[in-house]
Amino acid sequence: MTTPDYLEQVVVSNRRRRATSGARGEASLKFSATSFAWALLDTLSILVAALLGFRFRVSGAPVPEHGWLHDISHSPVAQLSYLTIFILYFLIFARIYGLYRANSNTSGLHEQRMVFQTTLVAGLLFLGTLYMLHAYEVSRLLVIYTVLFTVFLIALRRGIWRKLRQRQFLEGIETRNVLIVGSGRVGQALRNHLEALPHMGFRFKGFISLSDVGESSADPNVIGNVQECVSLARTLFVDEIFFSTPADKKIVVGVVEEARAQGIDVRVVPDLYDGLAWNAPVEFIGQFPTIPLHRGDFPRGAYMMKRILDVVLSTLLLIVLSPILLAIVIMVRLDSKGPVLYRAVRIGRKGRMFRCFKFRSMVTNADKIKEDLAHLNERNDVLFKITNDPRVTKVGARLRKYSLDELPQLFNVLRGDMSLVGPRPPLASEVAKYEISHLKRLDVLPGMTGLWQVEARQDPSFDSYISLDTAYVENWNLMLDLRILARTIGVVLSGSGS
């Protein structure tokens, strides 16, 4: 079950607030880890299909003493040399037919049809190549078996993957937030269509008007006008903007340019913008045709590897550190009255709220006392920090010195609320004071450690805090995560926490 979005309430009540944020150039890479991962899985599927085909071809029949079947049964190299041609054909046409696109919101029937078409074309070209090479000793029946098993295995694998993704969408995980420009008939129909297909993974966030919107707008779902469209989209963590009504081409181009700088995708309904989307492919959201004007390159494969790394490492750490965790539970229980765990409501990716676990290091009424200590705050009005904080218990001070109080967040990592590496999860009161440019740090999962923790943990500057987190988001890669994890070990052992 999803948690309510904290920022949505803030934006709707302050929809006239307008701010500027730094632009970011779009990095559009033709090659991505996602495409490589899909191509690798397809290659493995074809290899399995070839083995199954060979099994069926020779089952119950003697293998000839000469020819390809004899060679393939005794030489894996011969097998791969022939099969490589078919694999190359398949990968080429899979890319041409869009099977390796990052967009996973096309219909399942269309995807399965593309799998069948890709495999059939690759199979026919493979047979033609064998004919041109005069490779008459190659069993055509074996090729047919390989093609049929390839279709079955790849369609099955992609179908299972799609069902798992749709289950995530229904649970509110990794959904795409949407703003619709225009609240007329087409806009309302698009909204109803998206809400009727929750398994597609879209969440409607509001309508954008082409004209000025007064506070007494007849439609409460109209949250702003097109001039503040991208600003509102950024604040609501919108992933896509849909144009459902005709608008001046300069306005649309302006929105696309701003959206590109903020990493937001833009689509239009076909036939509304003559000439603006020439040569752009029509993509169906359910049964609703749309044309993408801009799409960012999301490294889904790399983030998948990051998630695998999170699950494996957090599980190992929980097992290895279990004696330490048990000892800390006993120490906290004996030191002061109150629960062992402190459950703080924090803001995660795209403004979603979650409960962040920590070992309790303060007195039970610490949050109430915080207001009385506001005048002692050593940082600005966004962050709160006091040296020798009187709310910290004796055991809590030692836990905080070596960051041991944060070990229960490994359970947050396993649940998918957090990552091992990322910006620290902020409080709702902190996010309410953010400028729009600060929201970039919420584009990724918060982490137990991050660039700020290893570079400037004792720096009281909020600007340094934000700039380092923003630099992490903009330059993220797996090697950066590994370097931060390695440096975190040194920071923890040095006891620089507080």
Asked if residues 390 and 359 have their Cβ atoms less than 8 Å apart, the reply is no
Domain that holds residue 259: 175-297
Give pLDDT tens digits along the chain (498 positions).
Answer: 334 454 455 444 444 444 333 333 333 334 466 778 888 999 999 999 988 887 776 554 444 544 444 444 444 455 567 788 899 999 999 988 888 876 555 667 778 888 999 999 999 998 888 778 776 666 778 888 889 999 999 999 998 988 888 888 888 888 889 999 988 878 888 888 788 778 888 899 999 988 765 544 567 888 888 888 999 998 888 999 998 888 888 888 889 888 888 888 888 876 544 444 444 565 666 666 666 666 666 666 777 888 889 999 999 999 999 999 999 999 998 888 888 998 889 999 888 889 999 998 888 777 677 666 665 665 555 666 666 677 888 888 888 888 888 999 999 999 989 999 999 898 888 888 888 878 888 888 999 998 888 876 666 567 777 888 888 888 888 888 888 888 888 878 776 655
Residue corresponding to tokens 């609320």: 417
276 lies in some domain: yes
Helix extents (H) in 223-376 = 229-235, 249-262, 300-320, 322-335, 366-370
Residues 281 and 306 in one domain: no
| Judgement on whether residues 427 and 305 belong to the same structural domain of the protein | yes
335 in a structural domain: yes
Answer with the one of 169, 185, 211 that is the final residue of a domain.
Answer: 169
In this structure, the answer to whether residues 419 and 271 fall within a common structural domain is no
Q: Are strands 283-285 and 288-294 parallel, antiparallel or unpaired?
A: antiparallel
* H or E element, residue 187: helix 185-196
**186: three-class secondary structure by DSSP:** helix
DSSP structure string for 85-140? HHHHHHHHHHHHTTTT-S---S-HHHHHHHHHHHHHHHHHHHHHHHHHTT-TTS-H
Identify whether residues 237 and 308 lie together within a single domain.
no
Residues 435 and 313 in one domain: yes
Q: What's the token pair of residue 98?
A: 């869009």
Distances (CA, A) of 366 to 254, 330, 342, 371, 372: 48, 21, 11, 9, 10
User: Is 2 contained in some domain?
Assistant: no
**Domains in the chain: how many in total?**
3
What distances in angstroms separate CA 111 from CA 41, 106, 196, 385, one per listed residue?
16, 7, 21, 53
Please tell me whether residues 131 and 255 are part of one structural domain. no
Q: What is the pTM of this model?
A: 0.56
* Same structural domain, 256 and 374: no
DSSP state of 361: -
- CB-CB contact of 45 with 153 (8 Å): yes
Of 173, 158, 179, 148, the closest CA to residue 56 belongs to: 148
**Single residue among 297, 327, 362 that ends a domain in this structure:** 297
- Evaluated on CA atoms 139, 140, 141, 142, the torsion sign reads positive
116 in a domain, yes or no? yes
Residues 420, 352 share a domain: yes
Looking at the structure, do residues 165 and 181 belong to the same domain, yes or no?
no
- 423 in the same domain as 276: no
User: Do 152 and 128 lie in a common domain?
Assistant: yes
Q: Which of 154, 169, 184 is the last residue of a domain?
A: 169
40 plus 152 within the same structural domain = yes
d(CA 469, CA 472): 5
Compute the distance between CA of residue 232 and CA of residue 239 in angstroms, rounded to an integer: 12
